[in-house]
């Protein structure tokens, strides 16, 4: 019998009561299973509003927001709405010229993942595997003067 390789940090062993899942895509089976392990109730939406007041209202009833979100929304959710931000961590394992090569690479990995089609003609297919769920703790923006008067 194979041992369960999944690791859950002690911080995430307590479940979030209400999670807001923001995605337009079908989740991988492992992503669904992992999300169910940490969220009691999951509400799915396709997108979030971008104005601060509307965003605050949209996430107000949730303990955590889950999804691959643009950086400005992550900052607003963390700093202004004071909610946890969780994301599915996908690791790139390679790029391939054809879809068939990409499918072979994913199959050989033995892991669950996705194949992203080329954004433009002549670009490669990207192969990503799912590694787990991460919680963003802090987003820090540092700045330096390029020109100072």
* Tens-binned pLDDT, residue by residue, of the chain (149 aa): 333 445 555 444 569 999 999 999 999 999 999 999 999 999 999 999 989 999 999 999 999 999 989 999 999 999 889 999 999 999 999 999 999 999 999 999 999 999 999 999 999 999 999 999 999 998 888 889 999 99
Task: Write down the pTM of the prediction.
Answer: 0.82
Domains of the chain and CATH, by start = 15-89+132-136 (3.40.50), 90-130 (no CATH)
Nearest by Cα to 122 from 93, 98, 92, 94: 98
Element (H, E) at 2: none
Distance CA 65, CA 78 (A): 10
């Amino acid at each position: 019998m194979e041992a369960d390789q999944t690791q859950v940090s002690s911080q995430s062993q307590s479940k979030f009561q209400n999670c807001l899942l923001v995605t337009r895509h079908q989740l991988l089976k492992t992503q669904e299973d992992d999300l169910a392990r940490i969220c009691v109730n999951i509400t799915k939406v396709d997108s979030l509003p971008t104005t601060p007041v509307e965003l605050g209202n949209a996430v107000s009833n949730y303990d955590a927001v889950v999804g691959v979100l643009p950086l400005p929304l992550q900052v607003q959710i963390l700093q202004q709405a004071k909610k946890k931000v969780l994301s599915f961590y996908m690791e790139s394992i390679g790029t391939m010229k054809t879809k068939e090569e990409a499918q072979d690479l994913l199959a050989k990995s033995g892991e669950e993942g996705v194949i992203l089609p080329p954004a433009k003609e002549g670009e490669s297919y990207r192969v990503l595997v799912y590694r787990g769920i991460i919680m963003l703790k802090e987003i820090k923006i540092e700045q330096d003067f390029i020109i100072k008067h």
